A and B are shown apart, each in its own frame.
Chain A
């Protein structure tokens, strides 16, 4: 069964002009059990955007799998010169990132 989509697309694409920025709302519950939904959402992010904002304000539950996925996402977009911002980062997020040695990767394009 497909996990229920909890992410909401904030910026809608207008028919022709490619979007310039996009917001990805990371759902409240985002652990290895339902990480697939977040990846699906991340995959919908257009290749052509200039700015991506990761909205972490709702995030309550996450684990190392979440950080791994976001690290890959940040690295891949950072390599293409996309501006990546996070907002509403919970303090536990930074602490866990540090514990996992991912602080640098996650900060790469912020």
Chain B
């Protein structure tokens, strides 16, 4: 009987990534010298479960690597080796390597095999160093596992290993296995070279060798078999208990025939039949009893269907308004009830896609620690609101911008200890990551108690870069906006941390892409705060519908500030024909949407229509529209599925009457409108 194990891969990956997160956070709390045994155990279990899963699902390299890791962890767990800083660093690196390997296996992409091999060599080297050279035939044969008190009688095991040709290519190294066996007792290895062709004709990646081994060991059979645990099923393994000193002689031969599905070679002596199929559910750590794993695409399907439902409902309620007669009241109250239930359904379904932001925040303790170490700064990371939930897609895309902000704070924000002491501050700098819900949005803050933005330096840089003219007098707000300009960087020395290429402009455009915005609040000498506001979900947007000619457009609420009716004397036409109006101490340009979209408007007179002040990419403009139609939640539909990207438009939605309305991309629109005016 064979089982298609690929169906369990998804669960294996999910479990493994979660386990790695746990391993990383546990590692970060580990005290060098006197580690908490339970923490070491927890880390060991992570390596062990990934190894088991890797072997079961035929990810030989993962199994092989985690095996080495597990060996090291076993040494730590048994306190045969002490937890030192280099070992901690090695273990942290292992987390990265395993993430990369798992990620590559999941997407079927290649990974940096070199870094894996290097790290694996490092791990093995450290084991050998600390334990003393493990010779092939150790004089002390009582190194056996699980043996305490009177040493059990040692048994001579005869082991035959005939690997399949792909053995080496998969990254399995028999030397590693034999070294392992050598730890269990005294080992004599004999290689059979009869199948080895002349070197000119051989394929050097294939394995032609086979081995017979004789191991004298008091280790239980299970311990010996465990060494071979992650062999591929195509390898032929025989294990025979031979002559023994007083112990009962049990002969056990077990040839594993090539099987179609990769099955682990690990055989439980009590249940030999179980070797054929191991239920994957037992290998990956069982999820919480109260939860199930569902593919994201299934959830998205559900969300889409609910979206359709909302549209159909809107359509029906529009029709119901026109219904008269005895049934009309019943119909309308039914429609209202339906609407309530539907909103509830929509919210519940949306919540399925929501994950706590801790999945992103958990990356930071490690990063802050590493970076602070490298920059020789003392930084403490404070995290609040990590249980705040947001949409999975938003979550996936917000990681990099946040990472950049935190890096920036450590690199540019937090001063070194000496400077802090001189300024009378705590020598340990603080970075505060904070997440919270705020109405229909989520607010994420990256704050530091560093030096704050240096206005003079920013202005000087901006002038040097030609971003502002020498005569421009800038408000504090405008100065802070400058750091988001493309190509702007304040680092006097471009460190390898902040780099040169990526600036705050990229952070802003990433946030804008998610339909959010970013602001900076800074106080000289006291620190800076970057505040990101994001929509809760990417599936629905709170929008303001506006009419222009015969078309309806949706303006995301997050980008709109105010709508106003301008009187003719509020508008000034400046030299190049552009219209501006005063709004909260600044002059904003008017963008006539009908012109932009090439439509025939109901009115061209500014005082007859409305101006909606919108903000995007740090700039504000007044959009001139015919009328406001109302505020509503709309379901976002991609334009790119069947068409393509359109400047100034982020997506489309379907209105209650079944017609399509375009959702404006305010930042993009402001940019292209300015570009067009300039052209």
Contacts and interface: CB of A to CB of B under 8 A. Distances in A.
Contacts of B204: 32, 35-36, 38-39, 65, 68-69
A101 to B, nearest CB: 4
Interface in B179-199: 179, 182, 189-191, 193, 196-199
A108 to B, nearest CB: 11
A38 to B, nearest CB: 7
Interface in A70-99: 71-73, 75-76, 95-96, 98-99
Interface residues of B, number: 31
Contacts, number: 88
Contact of B207 (A42, A68, A102): A68
A4 to B, nearest CB: 14
B169 interface: yes
Contact of A101 (B121, B171, B197, B211): B211
Interface of B is mostly: loop
14 contacts: A31-B117, A32-B168, A32-B169, A32-B171, A32-B205, A35-B204, A69-B204, A71-B193, A72-B193, A72-B199, A76-B200, A99-B182, A100-B174, A100-B189
A33 B205 CA distance: 8
A55 interface: no
A71 B171 CA distance: 19
B209 interface: yes
Given A98-B136, A98-B189, A105-B191, A63 B173 contact: yes
A11 interface: no
B136 A76 contact: no
A29 B178 CA distance: 22
Contact of A100 (B121, B208, B209): B209
A64 B198 contact: no
A57 to B, nearest CB: 18
Interface of B: 113, 117-118, 121, 133, 136, 168-169, 171, 173-175, 178-179, 182, 189-191, 193, 196-200, 202, 204-205, 207-209, 211
Nearest to B196: A72
A102 B198 CA distance: 16
Given A31-B117, A100-B174, A65 B207 contact: yes
Interface residues of A, number: 29
A1 interface: no
B175 A96 contact: yes
Contacts of A38: 204
A64 B175 contact: yes
Nearest to A74: B199
Question: Which of B182, B191, B202, B207 has the most chain A CB atoms closer than 10 A to its own CB?
Answer: B191
B505 to A, nearest CB: 38
A61 interface: yes
A42 B169 CA distance: 20
A72 B197 contact: yes
A39 B90 CA distance: 34
A103 to B, nearest CB: 9
A65 B205 contact: yes
B14 to A, nearest CB: 29
Nearest to A47: B200
Contacts of A96: 175
